Structure 1
Amino acid sequence: MPSSSAAAPGPKGDVDERVRSTGRSGAVRWGRPTGSGVGFSPPPIAPLPSPTADSIPMLECKEVPRYRVTSVEEIRRLFAKQEPFITEEQDNPDFQEFAKICTAEHIRELWANRDWRVQDFEQTVFDPFVPPVENTAVMPFDTFLERFENPIPGRQNYVNIWPTEGTPFAMDFFAKMREFGKKLPLTQPDGQDLKTLWLGGKGTITPLHYDTYARSHGTVRGEKLYIFFPPDRHHLKKLEAYPVRTTQGWWSRIGFGPLDPELFPQLEGTKPWRALCKPGDFVWLPPCWWHHVSIPESPTITISATHHDPHSKRYYYHWRMRTTRWLGRRQGVLRKVLATH
């Protein structure tokens, strides 16, 4: 999970003197806001350093294990361990056939004349119950592809394309994508698990967050670096989970740039896992694992799927998330009532 647009505006109200940048790109000290605003409103974040091979997170990481699997049953057995793993599909003829059409040139033919909403992670506003992914820009898809192929240093853009969007030709593309999914060891035999296409240019970073559902990410073009943290109370405290208005997961107050312990001392004492995925690598992530994603060297095209995992209900994170959503809904109702009196 950098554009020409500005980030979404934050809540009104001044920020007291304790909320200041550390002077290092991407690092922010947090304090309490004053005025009428709700929650925290950070100062503008300086443009982030683009990740490169030399700026891969300076964390001691455990490597995510790799497997070659041939059945859904094997995937389920690996998922039951509730740890990340990688399956290798480079030699899979179906992956090779799909990769032939999954190119920037082919995608340009399908969507070049349409406007798309692009996720902008240059700045992220952490207002309670406002998801960071609302920082988006609308631009012609052709313009995005230009940045995808020739990224602007210090800016990170993502575009994710769902099967319900696009021209009939685009729908045909996703039909091929689902056909490919039927021949992979996914959890749904009809290939419907395989449902999202992601494009990101060099330097793109998805801030540290976790989802309440299981995911798989297959790299088709380029390379992606994933850093994972286990779903336990120790990491919930260390990574400073922050509630946002989304049913999908929580974000961390750290992790805007490369996960450098010098920038973020909270990372000391954590136990991260690392996966550098190349074309044909599918990384599988159980629910509630923290993950930070970066594109170090070249533009990437990735396909991802969401999977149901019954193990998610056992996590403390899952129940805390449900409680937060329940309180958030009632807080919204209370605000509306007060606003009418």
Structure 2
Amino acid sequence: MRTTSPIRLAALLVCLAALLAAGRYGPIAPYVQAVKSDKTASIAFGGLEKTDAGPADLAEWIKAEAPKLAIPPVDAKIDRVWKAIPGYNGREVDIDATLARAKELGLGPGGEPGRFPWVFRELEPAVQLDQLEPAPVYRGNPNKPMVGLMINVAWGDEYLPSMLKTLADEKAKATFFFDGTWLSKNLDKAREIVKAGHEASNHAYTHPNMSRLGAERQRSEIAKTEALLRDGLGTSNKWFAPPSGDFNELTVRTASGLGLRTVLWTLDTIDWKKPPASGVVAKVSAQAEPGTLILMHPTSTTEQALAGIIRAVREKGLEPGTVTDTLSSARTEDRPAA
């Protein structure tokens, strides 16, 4: 018959003593004691607390933590340098909805509040962009982690299919500002762009220097393209991008009279000069920040750089999107930088 050696027996007794001590004094002691005394047991999982705590305790904990997570809204304003800057929604905890979700998941008070399944309500600013006096927009709100992709289309289309494929592959949307003359000849292509989920906006009709035109001609340039966008594409537009960035106060007022806000850019890729695609990507990587509007055209440079531009933006924790999405006050929660 095989017997246990004195040394092995001693080791077993030491292990048993350690387990008993852990249950009485160690890190699992609260759980062991709760089970022994048939009290509420709370077990942490994933930074949260799985619990049988009463609903009153949970509700009070949510109410106590909620103010710490509130963010006030930011009003739109006219900046001395950047002119019209849109506002940004704040947020507050929806206490009733949060309590209901926590109960569904069987969660209780405690754990890491940052990982709790909070439900938020957005709080709109008292002053929105459309309440400001007519003024050009060069950027989005610096608190919003988005970047707007602006693609001005006035000539050529050989690079558009490839760029659209890249946007689809990268799951990104952009705003295409169409010159009216181009648009009148390429409505089917523009319809495909809109069908793909991109935004169509106004880039005048004949790509003129707007500041050199009188009031009636400026109005005609904008209105003719706006009619094409409305009747030819069935879109509802709110932006006017002056060709070559050339405009004056009359341009801004004229666009406003037609229901449009004049929009320019924060970062110009200058892709029409055909710089190396790698240089454009490096420029975007270095200069893009929350609210940046990036100007591009359907060129060979942008065709090659577009995927890199989108990835560089996301690597900075920003989300590329349309001008409307970037300039709206709706919240876009921060995404971690890659």
TM-score, normalisation: structure 1 = 0.24
Higher relative contact order (CA 8 A, sep 6+): 1
Larger helix percent? 2
TM-score, normalisation: structure 2 = 0.24
